[in-house]
Chain A
Amino acid sequence: MNMEQKPRKFWPPLIGGIGLGIALLGMFVVTGHGLGAYGFYKRIIVWIGDDVASQWTQANAYLSTSLGKGHPLDFWISWEVLGIAFGSLVGSLVARRFRFKIERGSGISINSRLLLAIFGGMLSGFGAALARGCTSGLGLSGAATLSVAAFLFLMGFFIAGLITARITRKVW
């Protein structure tokens, strides 16, 4: 392999964690809330739903509470996700870690991997809707405020993750 293409090593987790902590702190100081991701996907569903099935979306008790508040770009979380995309793109390009690929273990086909990605995503989207937030929005941001809800969520997350990983290790 060409030396030019050699990826830079990942940062030590302590340094990465401090950086992430400062980002979290800064977000709270400026906006009063933490970092998130789930809300962005819900916004997209509400936005598309209002466009293609307006009556159903308005009648839906879960989606309707987020209706009538405009385009996804009217919400802070969309700008934040744009920032996440930009930050990871620039970071991976500069460190020569950017790779077009489908990440998977050697024992699994591309089709199976993509199907599992969709299935895992479905559980994740459903779970975040149920919990009212995801690993960053509820777990990480909530834990920074010492919220009981966040630690409860993280407990469920890690215990279920540790059990599932015993079964899914072949995927990776």
Chain B
Amino acid sequence: MDLTMLQTLRKFSTRMLSALVLWAGAGAAYADLSIDITKGVTDALSIAVVPFARSVPADGGLDVAAVVQHDLEGSGRFRGMDRKDMLSTPVRVADIQAADWRAARNDYIVVGRLSSISNTELVIDFELVNLLSGQTLLQQRVSVAPSALRHGAHRVADLIYQRLTGTRGAFATRIGYVSVDGAPPAQRYQLLLADADGENIRVILESARPIMSPAWSSDGEWVAYVSFENHASAVYVQRVRTGERRLVSARAGINGAPAFSPDGRRLALTLSGSTGNADIYVLDLATQLLTRITEDPAIDTEATWSPDGKQLYFTSDRAGGPQIYRVGVQGGEAARRLSFGVPYAARPRVSPDGTQLALVVRDSSGYHIAAQDVAGGALRVLTRGSLDESPSFAPNGAQIIYAARERGQAILAMVSADGQVTQRLKADRGEVRDPVWGPYAD
């Protein structure tokens, strides 16, 4: 695309471009993700998740209890029980022989039953019991459409997790990420969405040219990203449900680092124009009004919003090397530097409660994910890889997903916000990178 074409596109008329892209090919068109824990807490809670009663043809063969157990174990805070060690498989509280379960060193037990209310509604009834006290801590019914039973299982895990840890679960959420297959110069890029456990993978964009920086809107309806499909960077937003795409910015130079404001009305962007100096702007999606946020010869990029929508955190090398800064969106005051003590700090993300920053730092052993209070203070280095990058908070603030390299393979990983629990999400082929954790669906 030549310069005059880019200048024409400067008008930013939103255009409906091609709809959801279907990969027409035999076999798996994307790599599977598998999740495993590399480090859990030392005081994990022991919980037995007994297979639920399933006499329901509409459940599609899904083992709900297995999904619940996998979610809880994957958090690193629970130790589940092997089914082959279960002496009985009660499905209601009255059938639980507590002594047997306590003898097997369980602190808690979950029992449940699936039933069909109608053609369009399944229910999962379950109870969580404290084996030491005998108290039923939870007795709940989760209702779902048959096609969403897996999602219902994740909601069961959320409820158990919240009851026992005090933190809302994020098992029923989704992630987005980029996958790259093939060797240079013939790489193939995909933008994918998946459940947070790596299941239900869906390709939403496919290209011979790079895709990067996926970002969700707070309502989960839209994903913004950068695509190089026209031999230059451009920012698009795409409606998740329908695949409808809109070109947001294809100005000369850099179009990058999109971030939705919490109210979904604005997009923070990095633009450079033809002179190539990266600065941060805010685009009003309805009016197309562009507001410049930074104006200096340094690189300013990777903006992210505070939860109240009033401030932007970003990366700038105005001090010589990349560091984290914060500035008010309204303008009128200088940006304030927030990172100190490391020669390189970049790619900030704010926790949902607005109190913590996740960022990438470089020290003598490489690039790691770190966290610090937004108000300043000591950096806590959370990860130990040498090429860790792209942190993104789960919507409960308890975990951070990020990209890493392990034995030469690019993988995704998760670390708990306190650094205690780590997991890996590996693709069975190719590289995965640039993860973003989606919002709660409600």
| A, B co-complexed | no
Chain A residues close to B by CB (< 8 Å): none
